[in-house]
Amino acid sequence: MNGGIRSYEFAKRLADLGHHIVVVTSDNENEFAGWKVEELDGFEVHWVSVKYNNSYGFLRRLWAFVKFLVLSSLHICSLKSDKLFVTSTPLTVAIPAIIYKLIKRKPYVFEVRDVWPEVPIALGVIKNNVLIKAAFLLEKIAYENAAHIVALSPDMKKSVLKRCTGKSVTIIPNAADCHLFNLSLPTDDPFIEKLQYIKSKHKKVVFYTGAFGMVNNLSSFIKLASYSNGDIGFVIIGQGKEEPALKSLAAELSVLGSTLHFLPSVNKNQLSAVHSIFDMATSTVLPIEALYANSANKVFDAFAAGTPLLINHGGWIKELIERTESGLVINNTPTIVDYSRLKDFLLSEQDYEKACSASFDLGKSEYNREQLFKTFLSVIEEGII
C-alpha cells in the first residue's frame, strides 16, 4: 500500500527470521466496525477502520489521530510482546507505546519519519501556543521514554538530539528496492502505451510521483515546465487536494496537456515502467528548512531504478546529489537559467549517463533494502533475550 512499503518490507524480513510480528495499523477508508485480523506473508496485521484523508482540515485530521491512538492503546494492551516498534508520523502514535510501556513494562523503539511538530508549525498548521507547547512536550516525552530512536535522515537525527541529548539514535533512511525496478515492459498495456505516447512528444521527460499536497510545492514544478518549448516534457503522477489548483495553474501558464501532463496514481509495477520510459525523477518541497530533512520514498525509488534525481531544496539529499553527481539541484523558485541547466544536463549524453550510473550505485549499495535491514535488525534485537 502507498505509505506502507517500509513497514511491510521490514516486518516480512523479521518474520522470515522467526520473529513473531504483529502490525497494528489503520484502514482509512471505512467506518469503525471492530478489529480485523489477517495473516500476511508470515506476520499478523491487526486493522482498525479510522477514516482519514489528506484533504481533511486540521481539526478533522487531529480527530482521526486521536481516535486511532485511543483504539490502538486499548487493543495493544491485550497483546503480548518483547518490544514495540513505533513509526511516526503522526507524533501521537507514541502515546499507545508509552501507555504499553507503563502497563506492560516493555520497551519501545521510536522511529522518526518526519520532523514533527516542526513541520506543521513552520507551515502555520499549528498556531495555538498551547498546542505548540503540548506538541513539543509530547515529542520530548516520546524520545525520553524510547529505548532507542530511529531517524530517517542525518538531519532528523540532529533534530532529535537538539531536544533529547544523549539518546541512542540510529539513521535508517528509506530504502531502494532494486528488484522492483527495471522490469520487462508488458505488451498491449494501455498505461504503458500512454507513457510511450507522452515520451514520443518530447526529447526527454521529467516526472514527479506522489502526493499533491501543499508541502510538495508542485507549483514550482509547473513553473519550471513553463520555460520549455516542448523539447523537455513534464509529468505529474498521483493525487491530492491540490490537484484542481495545480491544473488551473498549468492551464494559466499554457502548459496543460502540451508541455505538462497529469496522470493518476500508480502501483509499484507501473512505477517501474514510469522510470524505464521517462528520464528524470523529481522531489520538490516548499522553501522551509524543516522540510529539507525529509527521506521521501520517491528519492530511493529513483536510486533503485538508476534514474537521475532533480530536487529544489537544501539539506542532506542536496549534499548527497552534489557529492555523487546523481542528479541536479535547482532553485526553489525556478528561472529560465534553471531550465537551461536542466535541458543541458538531460541532452548531454555524458552527464546524463554518469548520473544514471551514480544513482544506481546508491541503490545497489548505500541505500539497498537488504543492507539497511541489517541495521534495523540490530536495533530491534538489541536487549531481547
pLDDT digits over 174-196, tens only?
999 999 999 999 888 999 999 99
Looking at the fold, whether 300 and 375 belong to one and the same domain comes out as: no
| pLDDT value at residue 268 | 80
Give per-residue pLDDT as tens, 197-253. 999 999 999 999 999 988 999 999 999 999 999 999 999 999 988 999 999 999 999
pLDDT classification of 161: cutoffs 50, 70, 90: very high
User: Looking at the structure, do residues 197 and 146 belong to the same domain, yes or no?
Assistant: no
Let me know: does 293 contact 155? Beta carbons within 8 Å.
Answer: yes
- Looking at the predicted structure, is the pLDDT value of residue 62 above 90? no
Is residue 241 domain-shared with residue 200, that is, in the same domain? Answer: yes
pLDDT at residue 2, rounded to an integer: 63
Min mean pLDDT across 4-18, 28-42, 138-152, 181-195 is at 28-42
Q: Are residues 359 and 337 both part of a single domain?
A: yes
CATH number of residue 160's parent domain: 3.40.50.2000
Give me the mean pLDDT over the 131-152 stretch: 93
> What pLDDT is attached to residue 128?
87
Instruction: Please write the tens of the pLDDT for every residue from 281-335.
Output: 999 999 999 999 999 999 999 999 999 999 999 999 999 999 999 999 999 999 9
Q: What are the beta bridge partners of residue 149?
A: 110, 169
Residues 260 and 348 placed together within one structural domain of the fold: yes
In the structure, what pLDDT confidence band is assigned to residue 63 with cuts at 50, 70 and 90?
confident
Summarize the confidence of residues 344-365 as an average pLDDT. Answer: 98
Q: Are 23 and 171 in a shared domain? A: yes
Neighbours of 229 (CB within 10 A): 8
Give residue 384's pLDDT band: very low, low, confident or very high (50, 70, 90): low
Per-residue pLDDT, 83? 95
Same domain? For 171 and 317 the reply is no
- Residues 27, 64, single domain; the answer is yes
Residues 23 and 35 in one domain: yes
pLDDT digits (tens, 9 = 90+) for 68-127: 889 999 999 999 999 999 998 778 889 999 999 999 999 999 999 988 888 888 888 888
Residue 272 lies in domain: 178-364
For residue 52, what pLDDT is reported?
A: 81
- State yes or no: pLDDT of 54 exceeds 70: no
Q: Where are the beta strands (DSSP E) in the chain?
A: 22-27, 35-40, 43-49, 84-88, 108-112, 148-151, 169-171, 204-211, 232-239, 260-263, 280-283, 309-311, 327-329
CA angle, residues 25, 30, 34, in degrees to nearest 5 = 65
Of residues 342 and 119, more confidence is placed in 342
pLDDT at 385 (0 to 100): 43
**How many domains in the chain?**
2
Check: CB of residue 238 under 8 Å from CB of residue 210.
Answer: yes
A 10 A CB-CB count for 220 gives 22
> Is there a single domain that holds both residue 20 and residue 139?
yes
Q: Are residues 31 and 157 in the same domain?
A: yes
Joined together, the cell numbers standing for residue 47 give 486493522
Q: What is the pLDDT of residue 1?
A: 66
Whether residue 334 sits in one domain with residue 240: yes
Q: Which of 82, 81, 87 is nearest to 114 (CA)?
A: 87
